[in-house]
């Protein structure tokens, strides 16, 4: 398929995708547009669907080949034990996701493995990021690790968004880590659009995004 049709299909899927997603995700695209994000990092790439939508949004403002995406996930190495420990979803093979994201024409960099191991190894090679979406493992240890490394990749205008801020639960998700962020150094906002799911065992789960910026 030539580039024109690939791009056309990517945009059709983009508009279809955006209108079918839970509504909190629109805030991601709004922020990416607002800050004209060029270097985008996602912890928890999963199937690459959100990655693609974030890249396409960035490419509305910046030439497509100048957008860089850095995605971290366990991909095919996710074991069933880890899936339970991280309250995770099963991701596809890294190559499947790479092929899908390469269609955008952005510079796509994927990292496979547990972020508690991979981020310490990769951190010195990574550039400062404009936008970081933290949505990987959901154990406290992993969210704390992901925030520690992500915060080291911030420049003065970087925006970090945490998924899975569960306001009605005392423990679990990103809330304990977000609530403990030093408010004298960072501006922390809980974003207004949220989703409500009724899940067995959870009863009602409210999911919000938390946005973090450096105080300058
Ligand atoms: C909720 S899904 C991410 C969804 C994706 N951000 C989206 O919006 O489409 C969580 C992902 O995090 C990955 N993950 C879980 N624990 C991880 C860990 N310790 N290190 C790296 N990735 C992890 C899982 O493999 C899964 O694909």
Q: What pLDDT score was predicted for residue 13?
A: 62
- Counting Cβ atoms within 10 Å, is residue 16 exposed (0-12), middle (13-18) or buried (19+)? exposed
* 184-to-74, 131, 178, 187, 188 alpha-carbon distances in Å: 34, 21, 13, 8, 10
- Counting Cβ atoms within 10 Å, is residue 81 exposed (0-12), middle (13-18) or buried (19+)? exposed
Q: What pLDDT score was predicted for residue 89?
A: 79
Query: What is residue 169's DSSP assignment?
Result: -
Residue nearest (by alpha carbon) to ligand 1 atom 8: 50
Q: Choose the residue to mutate in 136, 199, 205 for probing ligand 1, maximizing ligand atoms within 8 Å of C-beta.
A: 136
Q: What pLDDT score was predicted for residue 131?
A: 98
Q: Which of 50, 53, 47 is nearest to 75 (CA)?
A: 47
Q: Which atom of ligand 1 is nearest to the CA of 42?
A: 6
Bridge partners, 210 (sequence order) = 162, 190
Global pTM reads 0.91
Instruction: Record the tokens describing residue 5, joined without a space.
Output: 């049709």
Per-residue pLDDT of the chain (216 residues; tens, 9 = 90+): 666 776 666 666 655 555 679 999 999 999 999 999 999 999 999 999 999 999 999 999 999 999 999 999 999 988 888 888 877 778 899 999 999 999 999 999 999 999 999 999 999 999 999 999 999 999 999 999 999 999 999 999 999 999 999 999 888 899 999 999 999 999 999 999 999 998 776 588 999 999 999 999
* 192: helix, strand or coil: coil
Residue nearest (by alpha carbon) to ligand 1 atom 20: 114
* Rounded Cα distance, 5 and 120, in Å: 39
User: How far does residue 168's CA lie from ligand 1's centre (Å)?
Assistant: 22
Classify domain 3-160 at the CATH class level: alpha beta
Q: What pLDDT score was predicted for residue 124?
A: 97
Q: What pLDDT score was predicted for residue 117?
A: 97
Q: Choose the residue to mutate in 24, 57, 74, 114 for probing ligand 1, maximizing ligand atoms within 8 Å of C-beta.
A: 74
User: How far does residue 134's CA lie from ligand 1's centre (Å)?
Assistant: 9
Note the Cα 215 to chain centre separation in Å.
22
């Amino acid at each position: 398929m030539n580039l024109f049709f690939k791009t056309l299909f990517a945009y059709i899927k983009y508009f279809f995708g955006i209108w079918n997603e839970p509504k909190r995700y629109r805030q991601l695209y709004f922020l990416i547009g607002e800050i004209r994000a060029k270097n985008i990092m996602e912890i928890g790439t999963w199937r690459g669907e959100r990655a693609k939508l974030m890249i396409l949004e960035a490419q509305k403002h910046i030439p497509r080949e100048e957008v860089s995406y850095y995605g971290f996930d366990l991909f095919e190495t996710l074991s069933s034990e880890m899936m339970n420990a991280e309250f995770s979803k099963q991701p596809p093979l890294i190559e499947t996701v790479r092929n899908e994201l390469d269609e955008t024409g952005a510079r796509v960099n994927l990292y496979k493995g547990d972020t508690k191991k991979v981020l310490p190894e990769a951190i010195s090679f990574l550039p400062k990021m404009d936008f970081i979406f933290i949505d990987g493992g959901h154990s406290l240890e992993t969210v704390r690790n992901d925030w520690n490394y992500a915060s080291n990749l911030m420049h003065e205008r970087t925006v970090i968004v945490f998924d899975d801020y569960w306001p009605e639960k005392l423990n679990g998700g990103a809330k304990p880590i977000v609530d403990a962020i030093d408010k004298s150094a960072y501006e922390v906002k809980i974003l207004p659009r949220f989703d409500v799911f009724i899940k067995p065992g959870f009863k009602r789960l409210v999911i919000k995004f938390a946005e973090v910026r450096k105080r300058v």
